[in-house]
Amino acid sequence: MSEIHVLDQNTINQIAAGEVVERPASIVKELVENAVDARSTAVTIEIKGGGIDFIRITDNGTGIEKDQIRKAFLRHATSKIASAEDLTTVRSLGFRGEALSSICAVAKVELITKTDEGISGVRYIIEGSEEISCEEIGCPEGTTFVVRNLFYNTPARRKFLKSSMTEAGYVEAFVQRLALSHPDISFKFISDNKNKISTAGNGSLKDVIYHIFGRDIAMNLLPVDHEEAGIRVSGFAGKPVISRGNRNYENYFVNGRYLKNQIIARGLEDGYKGHNMVHKFPFAVLMIEMDSRLFDVNVHPAKMEMRFKNGEELYSAVMTAVKNSFIKKELISSVSLGRERKKTAKSPVSAPEPFEKKRREITQASMVKQPETYPQASTVKQPDTYHTDERREPVRPADPEPAEKTPAGKQMSLSEIPFLSEAARPRHRLIGQVFKTYWIVEFEDKLFFVDQHAAHEKVMYEKLRKSLEEKTIHSQLVAPPVVLHFNMKEKNRYLMCRDAFEALGYQMEEFGEDAWCIRAVPDNLYDLDQQDLFVELLDHIEEGTTGPDLSVITDRLAAMACKAAVKGNQTLSYKEMDSLLDQLLALENPYQCPHGRPTIISMTKYEMEKKFKRIQG
């Protein structure tokens, strides 16, 4: 056996630094979190060379007492906790006391700090864990950390850093997340003398989202606010139109701390079921508040993971909060015929038309009747008038009805009435079917295009899903029975959730020592491959749950609805289209099919008139 050595303090510090200081963003994280814990209302982060060459963090917090400065740079020195019991109730962002000692072990650090009560401040310099100087200095209240030449004494580690641009990107991502979780603090991030992030600190989360992600995202947000089982979920969920191809825009914070967690991610994404397209992920900024005794944050060196005692309740709270944000919200995407010109503050100006004067002289009697001269948009024969028993009379844009009043007495403009609402339905003008696949509906100053397959698929899917949720399920006998062989884990999972399977419509019995047979299945799901479906349900049962994951069934229902729905290139009568619009109106989410494709898109009259050069601007 090799000889055992007791490591010197310098080696110990560098080993510890390797656990805490991975890259410049790690230093920024530790120092900015300390600034937040010091009750700062304004924090400025400045870096150069991606933070490898220079980092400066300035805050207006409480500062550090002169006699506490040296102690702050010792290992495991912290003001956040005093004993192990405090770990269960800690609410500060940092508490281990390793940050400053680790940073000064691999960089040149300068600290300037002053408390509110202090007459003067202190300038403290420490390099490679060795104190260089400590002197009084005039400075404002708060703390400034300057970190230079990261890994100057460990060149091997410096080689593993990415380019300065990449490292700067890590710093920016961290500042973005902290600004989102603390909208009441003003953050400024400067990289190589360029201002990248600047938030007002006015407490408005939506303002922070606007400053970080831009106008397009800020205009497509749905408010989230829900509480259950002592867990409150608030913030914003993005409309499906701003969904992304990865999970990088899923932001959630527990008691102000950013983390990645599978339970929360699954709840968030399941809340979007039926709204997002497959392989698309939501934009969200969610604030989760719960009892700190229900989770353990001390399971990851960077505190990016948590272990929760109430995982099922947390999942339910997040999923329900997100799902509720979509209720009664119009999510119809607007499309244009071409490239959108930049809008100005000026109102559009009508362009003169050479035939305008002559048109005024033409009487209604001399105008050509469209039904007699032009072919219909669809192959379905349309009646010459809308005043029949089968068709409701539309309200044409030229003669709008008086605007309805809101409960507060404020006039609501017609454009504010959702297209699929009871108030709007009598004013729909169903023009017809084009390409035997899409319907055109006129409503106020917009044209709406309905995909008949997506719309019918959505209606059928919701009917099947509702019968499952309301337990209006009957069993259908299977002949011959389906025989399954369970191993011990599978058998235990089934027995644990047997009542839930029976409530779903399954009838099973033992068939030998390790085999079970399915005698009956839910009649709603009779057309599916029963063995594959049951095995998939069983495989998705997690430890500690009391029933199968119904999302597995709803995914299969989407496939059933897709196969049974009316297809494109299929002629429909007016009555069939009109009936399907009524059924869409009754749905909670009529705007996307089960796979996330839009059922309806719209185009404004303004966009059409621009293309025909009827208006300028």
Q: For the chain, give every domain's residue range.
A: 9-198, 214-325, 332-337+351-373+417-617
Helix (H) or strand (E) holding 58: strand 54-59
- Residue 554 pLDDT > 60: yes
- Residue 362 pLDDT > 50: no
Name every residue whose Cβ is closer than 8 Å to that of residue 220 and which is 6 or more positions away in sequence: 238, 239, 241, 242
Give the model's pLDDT for residue 180.
96
Span 12-23, average pLDDT:
67
Homologous superfamily of domain range 332-337+351-373+417-617: MutL, C-terminal domain, dimerisation subdomain (3.30.1540.20)
Give the HSE-up count for residue 594: Cα atoms under 13 Å, Cβ half-sphere: 24
* Pairwise CA distance, residues 125 & 132, whole Å: 5
Crossing angle for the helix pair 24-37 and 164-181, to the nearest 10 degrees: 20
For tokens 């300390």, the residue is 34
Crossing angle for the helix pair 530-539 and 488-496, to the nearest 10 degrees: 90
160-218 pLDDT per residue, tens: 899 999 999 999 999 999 999 999 999 999 999 999 999 999 999 999 999 999 888 99
Evaluated on CA atoms 414, 418, 419, 421, the torsion sign reads negative
Give the range among 42-46, 117-121, 230-234 with minimum mean pLDDT.
117-121
- Residue 13 pLDDT > 80: no
Phi, psi dihedral angles at 583 (to 5 degrees): -70, -35
Residue 611's pLDDT band, with cuts at 50, 70 and 90, is: confident
Q: Cα separations (Å) of 282 from 36, 77, 182?
A: 28, 40, 21
Tokens of 265: 């991610």
Q: Is the pTM of this model over 0.85?
A: no
95-113 pLDDT per residue, tens: 444 688 889 889 999 999 9
Q: DSSP state, 202?
A: S
Name the more confident of 515 and 188: 188
Residue 9's pLDDT band, with cuts at 50, 70 and 90, is: low
Residue 246's pLDDT band, with cuts at 50, 70 and 90, is: confident
8 Å CB contact between 254 and 340? no
522-541 pLDDT per residue, tens: 776 666 667 777 777 777 77
Residue 567's pLDDT band, with cuts at 50, 70 and 90, is: confident
R_g of the chain computed on alpha carbons: 32
Span 418-427, average pLDDT:
83
Span 234-238, average pLDDT:
95
Secondary structure (H, E, C), 229-268: CCEEEEEEEECHHHCECCHHHEEEEECCEECCCHHHHHHH
Phi, psi dihedral angles at 543 (to 5 degrees): -60, 130
- Residue 381 pLDDT > 90: no
CATH architecture under which domain 214-325 falls: 2-Layer Sandwich (3.30)
Residue 362 Rama label (left phi>0; alpha psi -120 to 50; beta): beta
Residue 413's pLDDT band, with cuts at 50, 70 and 90, is: very low
- Residue 426 pLDDT > 80: yes
Q: Which of 486, 528, 499 minimizes the C-alpha distance to 507?
A: 499
* Pairwise CA distance, residues 196 & 108, whole Å: 25
- Strand duo 250-254 + 284-289: pairing: parallel
Q: Provide long-range contacts, Cβ within 8 A and 24+ apart, for 558-564.
A: 558/457, 558/461, 558/594, 558/595, 560/460, 560/461, 560/464, 560/525, 560/527, 560/528, 561/457, 561/458, 561/460, 561/461, 561/464, 561/594, 562/457, 562/593, 562/594, 562/595, 564/460
Phi, psi dihedral angles at 253 (to 5 degrees): -130, 135
**CATH 3.30.360.10 given to domain 9-198:** no
8 Å CB contact between 371 and 384? yes
Name the more confident of 408 and 248: 248
- Strand duo 438-443 + 307-308: pairing: unpaired
Name every residue whose Cβ is closer than 8 Å to that of residue 249 and which is 6 or more positions away in sequence: 238, 281, 282, 283, 284
**pLDDT > 70 fraction of the chain, expressed in percent and rounded:** 71
* Pairwise CA distance, residues 446 & 420, whole Å: 13
- Residue 502 pLDDT > 60: yes
Helix (H) or strand (E) holding 46: strand 42-48
